[in-house]
């Protein structure tokens, strides 16, 4: 039985189906192998909308927002008193990027993730994905990718390095395993990015919509992608990542950038590094703009493969309290998680103090009169 939390996740409902909409211009097609050509966006679009409400509910439940990067390397945490061992996250980037609370997901919720991933796959049997509006298609592929990655990590959790998880009969690592099936085509998460989305969308900000499970990649949003928010969400995710340490750093005359840009290079940055520098400049704030101005070379060498969870995939030995004679009661929170939450609280307080000094204000809550939907992400 599905969890009450995620009940109805299978209802990735078609909300509106009407006559074909005005045809949209087709982007230049790249050579596609096999059946991947069927996923190239078509001109004869239909006004069909997909409802990802239940995925939105799930994300808001198990994703913890960590806040914008302060561009400060975090020192290694102290070891536990009386031992040389230090459990939990110790990466210098550990307070960057949102987290998924895998340790809090019970079996029925994990089963719901599998059910929902399959429902998204089967949707293509009744809805011609390539004829949806371009924003609709983009939301579908990004949500499917992220659901699948979260599901596979949850199935084997605890795990420290998502990129090393073997999936399916092939035993291939998570990112390369073709365990997703859409319209009869077996896809890996990497296939969705590099054989469907990257070749058919021109704006490089699409790279920030794909969550890979580790701290080093783009952050996971607490809101599902939808046709009316995908542009704004990608703008926010791009801003967060570009201006984080896991996105951009400096070493002498070289701007060090995330290794994810190397994957996207053939599609969005063929004139390397000029194209990438122009993209970074579009989203750069003061610190990163200074890096751009003081460097000429670029190296895609920044990487962090630790899982983006609450405890680095480790289960710290539980502390116990003695109550009523020989009755023992375990502490309610893993000490490593408690430490991360305390560090998060300190970071947010530092961010507030910095914003007060610099006169910056970041608004994350919804607006009373939201702006109209953004232009289609092409």
Task: Give the three-class secondary structure for 297.
Answer: strand
For residues 334 and 313, the answer to whether their CB atoms sit within 8 Å is no
* Token pair in block for residue 270: 């063929």
* Token pair in block for residue 218: 């783009």
Q: Judge whether residue 359 has pLDDT over 60.
A: no
Q: Is 194 exposed, middle or buried (0-12, 13-18, 19+ CB in 10 A)?
A: middle
| Other beta carbons within 10 Å of 57 | 15
What pLDDT score does 8 carry? 41
24-62 pLDDT, tens per residue? 333 333 333 459 999 999 999 999 999 999 899 999 999
Distances (CA, A) of 367 to 14, 57, 139, 224, 370: 27, 19, 22, 18, 5
Mean local confidence (pLDDT), 138-166:
97
What pLDDT score does 80 carry? 56
What pLDDT score does 170 carry? 86
More confident: 339 or 204 = 204
What pLDDT score does 10 carry? 41
Q: Which helix (H) or strand (E) holds 23?
A: none
| Per-residue pLDDT band at 84 (split at 50, 70, 90) | low
DSSP characters for 257-269?
A: EETHHHHHHHHH-
CA distance 188 to 89: 28
Torsion of CA 132, 137, 140, 141, to 10 degrees: 140
| Per-residue pLDDT band at 349 (split at 50, 70, 90) | confident
CA distance 150 to 277: 31
Which DSSP state fits 95? T
| Other beta carbons within 10 Å of 98 | 19
* Token pair in block for residue 263: 């994957």
For residues 208 and 187, the answer to whether their CB atoms sit within 8 Å is no
The reported pTM is 0.84
Q: Is the dihedral of CA 207, 213, 215, 220 positive or negative?
A: positive
Query: 216-243 b/e with 16+ CB inside 10 Å = b?
Result: bbbbbbeebbbbebbbebbbbbbbbbbb
Distances (CA, A) of 295 to 163, 224, 248, 304: 31, 37, 12, 23
231-262 pLDDT, tens per residue? 999 999 999 999 999 999 999 999 999 999 99
Phi, psi of 250 (to 5 degrees): -135, 140
CA distance 246 to 302: 6
Strands 180-182 and 185-187, sheet pairing: antiparallel
Which DSSP state fits 316? P
174-192 pLDDT, tens per residue? 999 999 999 999 999 999 9
* Token pair in block for residue 108: 């029925």
Alpha carbon 231 to its chain's center: 15
Share of the chain above pLDDT 90, in %: 69
CA distance 47 to 45: 7
Distances (CA, A) of 256 to 77, 144, 205: 25, 30, 19
């Amino acid at each position: 039985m599905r969890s009450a939390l995620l009940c109805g996740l299978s209802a990735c409902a078609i909300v509106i189906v009407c006559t074909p909409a005005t045809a949209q211009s087709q982007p230049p097609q790249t050579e596609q192998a096999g059946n991947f050509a069927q996923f190239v966006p078509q001109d004869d679009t239909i006004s069909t909308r997909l409802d990802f409400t239940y995925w939105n509910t799930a994300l808001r439940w198990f994703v913890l927002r960590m806040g914008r990067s302060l561009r400060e390397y975090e020192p290694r945490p102290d070891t536990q008193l009386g031992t040389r061992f230090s459990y939990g996250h110790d990466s210098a980037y550990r307070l960057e990027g949102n987290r998924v609370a895998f340790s809090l997901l019970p079996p029925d919720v994990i089963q719901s993730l599998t059910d929902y991933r399959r429902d998204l796959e089967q949707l293509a049997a009744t809805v011609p994905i390539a004829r949806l509006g371009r924003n609709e298609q983009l939301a579908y592929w990004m949500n499917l990718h992220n659901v699948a990655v979260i599901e596979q990590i949850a199935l084997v959790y605890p795990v420290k390095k998502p990129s090393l998880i073997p999936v399916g009969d092939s035993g291939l690592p998570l990112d390369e395993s073709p365990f997703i099936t859409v319209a009869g085509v077996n896809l890996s998460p990497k296939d969705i990015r590099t054989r469907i989305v990257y070749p058919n969308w021109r704006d490089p900000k699409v790279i920030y919509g794909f969550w890979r499970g580790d701290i080093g990649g783009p952050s996971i949003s607490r809101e599902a992608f939808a046709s009316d928010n995908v542009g704004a969400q990608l703008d926010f995710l791009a801003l967060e990542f570009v201006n984080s340490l896991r996105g951009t750093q400096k070493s002498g005359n070289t701007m060090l950038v995330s290794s994810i840009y190397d994957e996207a290079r053939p599609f969005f940055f063929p004139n390397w590094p000029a194209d990438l520098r122009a993209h970074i400049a579009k989203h750069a704030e003061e610190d990163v703009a200074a890096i751009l101005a003081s460097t000429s070379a670029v190296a895609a060498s920044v990487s962090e493969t630790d899982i983006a969870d609450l405890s680095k995939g480790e289960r710290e030995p539980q502390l116990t309290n003695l109550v009523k004679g020989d009755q023992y009661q375990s502490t309610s929170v893993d000490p490593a998680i408690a430490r991360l939450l305390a560090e998060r609280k300190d970071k947010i307080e530092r961010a507030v103090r910095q914003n007060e000094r610099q006169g910056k204000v970041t608004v994350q809550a919804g607006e009373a009169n939201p702006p109209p939907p953004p232009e289609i992400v092409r």
